[in-house]
């Protein structure tokens, strides 16, 4: 095995990728062998030792050296197989497609590839091909804004959009809502950290350490968020928060956008609001709380904080929420940009 070798001159990025493939526990064995072969060639080891460490023959080792020299890392991947895929009979396509477009009769809400294959008597790979060709995705559901039954939809929508796009001079527009039932979940065992080729892992078993409710107000044209955590989300907590916001922003006309949650329209809330000349409440149309910009921020907050979080106590959760809001206001707060370019929404 004294065959001469060609220098391959690995870059740092290539070496790092090859080493990651070798270390990662879920990399295909054949790719591990190829990556290890290239790393050993780069070290200058004799062919006999390379073959002994990788389990590849000399012919295969030379093949992957040549492929790497031609296409670098891409050359270590399997080439597309020749031959055209087997034809699927039209009747089979029709039956799978028709069944995928119906609701299952066993109480499930949607079809899976496995269950479609079992029901129609064809393989899972055939079902996947049929669904891909027909652009059918039984596992996926898209959502759209339904028609609001509110007879004042146009007026309410126009008023809120007017506050977003052309607010009164000197006025402050606040988008206010609450995110309830934020659970302080702890795991029964420590989280396993992120590693190359493997995501962070948590036990499926958990402990509940209580819940909190986040009342939040987004200053629409500044992008800053104010928030406080409360035990419940009744009209009492909401009224107390409105009073706090009224004191926090003195000598300015406040326009507060809120949805139709019963606590927001409670008699005591409405009576107090009527007595405040600097305050105007704007309710979103029925089934149109998506008009409230605080919902956009709640979505960001959920992804950044709530999803996958681990807290040993409710207070630890509250502390993290408040820290997140402070850091968000320092480094990320800015108005949401209007990007919708489609047709106007009408009733």
Report pLDDT digits (tens) over 85-108. 667 888 888 999 999 999 998 888
pTM of the model: 0.67
Tell me how far apart the alpha carbons of residues 156 and 148 are, in angstroms, rounded to a whole number: 11
Residue with tokens 């704007």: 282
Residue 108: CB partners within 8 Å, gap ≥ 6? 115
How high is the mean pLDDT of the chain?
88
> What's the pLDDT band for 244 if we cut at 50, 70, 90?
very high
pLDDT single digits (tens) 42-87: 888 888 888 888 888 888 888 888 888 888 888 888 766 666 666 7
CA-CA-CA-CA torsion for 85, 90, 93, 94, nearest 10 degrees?
170
Report which of 239, 222, 221, 220 is spatially closest to residue 230, judged by C-alpha positions.
Answer: 239
Q: What is the pLDDT of residue 66?
A: 87
231-255 b/e with 16+ CB inside 10 Å = b? eebebebbbebbeebbeebeeebbb
Report which of 215, 243, 247 is spatially closest to residue 229, judged by C-alpha positions.
Answer: 215
Does 146 score more than 80 pLDDT?
Answer: no
> DSSP states of 116-173 as a string?
HHHHHTS-HHHHHHHHHHTT--TT------PPP--TTHHHHHHHHHHHHHSPPTT-EE
Show the tokens assigned to 232.
Answer: 């419940």
Show the tokens assigned to 200.
Answer: 């962070």
Tell me how far apart the alpha carbons of residues 10 and 38 are, in angstroms, rounded to a whole number: 9
Tell me how far apart the alpha carbons of residues 151 and 113 are, in angstroms, rounded to a whole number: 44
Tell me how far apart the alpha carbons of residues 151 and 149 are, in angstroms, rounded to a whole number: 6
Asked if residue 10 lies in contact with residue 76, where contact means CB atoms within 8 angstroms, the answer is no
DSSP 8-state assignment for residue 283: E
Q: What are phi and psi of 106, to 5 degrees?
A: -100, 15
pLDDT single digits (tens) 216-239: 999 999 999 999 999 999 999 999
Average pLDDT over residues 205-219: 94
Report which of 93, 92, 111 is spatially closest to residue 102, judged by C-alpha positions.
Answer: 111
Q: What is the pLDDT of residue 43?
A: 82
Q: What are phi and psi of 41, to 5 degrees?
A: -65, -40
Report which of 142, 148, 143 is spatially closest to residue 160, judged by C-alpha positions.
Answer: 148
């Amino acid at each position: 095995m004294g065959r001469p070798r060609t220098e391959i001159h690995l870059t740092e990025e290539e070496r790092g990728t090859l080493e990651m493939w070798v270390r990662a526990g879920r990399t295909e064995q054949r790719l591990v062998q190829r990556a290890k072969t290239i790393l050993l060639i780069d070290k200058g080891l004799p062919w006999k030792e390379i073959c002994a460490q990788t389990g590849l023959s000399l012919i295969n080792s030379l093949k992957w050296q040549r492929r790497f020299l031609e296409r670098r890392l891409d050359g270590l991947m399997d080439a597309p197989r020749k031959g055209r895929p087997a034809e699927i009979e039209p009747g089979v396509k029709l039956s799978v497609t028709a069944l995928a477009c119906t609701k299952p009769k066993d109480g499930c809400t949607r079809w899976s590839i496995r269950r479609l294959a079992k029901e129609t008597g064809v393989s899972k790979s055939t079902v996947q091909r049929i669904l891909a060709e027909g652009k059918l995705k039984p596992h996926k559901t898209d959502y759209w804004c339904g028609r609001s039954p509110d007879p004042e939809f146009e007026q309410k929508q126009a008023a809120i959009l007017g506050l977003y796009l052309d607010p009164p001079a000197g006025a402050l527009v606040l988008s206010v809502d609450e995110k309830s039932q934020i659970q302080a979940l702890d795991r029964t065992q420590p989280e396993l950290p992120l590693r190359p080729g493997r995501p962070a892992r948590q036990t499926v078993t958990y402990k509940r350490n209580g819940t909190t409710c986040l009342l939040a107000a987004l200053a629409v044209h500044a992008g800053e968020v104010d928030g406080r955590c409360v035990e419940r989300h009744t009209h009492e907590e909401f009224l107390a928060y409105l009073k706090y916001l009224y004191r926090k922003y003195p000598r300015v006309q406040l326009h507060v956008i809120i949805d139709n949650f019963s606590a927001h329209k409670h008699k005591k809330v409405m009576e107090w609001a009527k007595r405040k000349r600097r305050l105007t409440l704007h309710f979103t149309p029925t089934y149109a709380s998506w008009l409230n910009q605080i919902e956009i921020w709640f979505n960001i907050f959920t992804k950044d904080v709530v999803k996958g979080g681990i807290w040993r106590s409710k207070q630890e959760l509250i502390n993290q929420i408040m820290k997140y809001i402070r850091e968000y206001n320092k480094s990320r707060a800015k108005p949401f940009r209007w990007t919708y370019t489609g047709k106007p929404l009408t009733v």
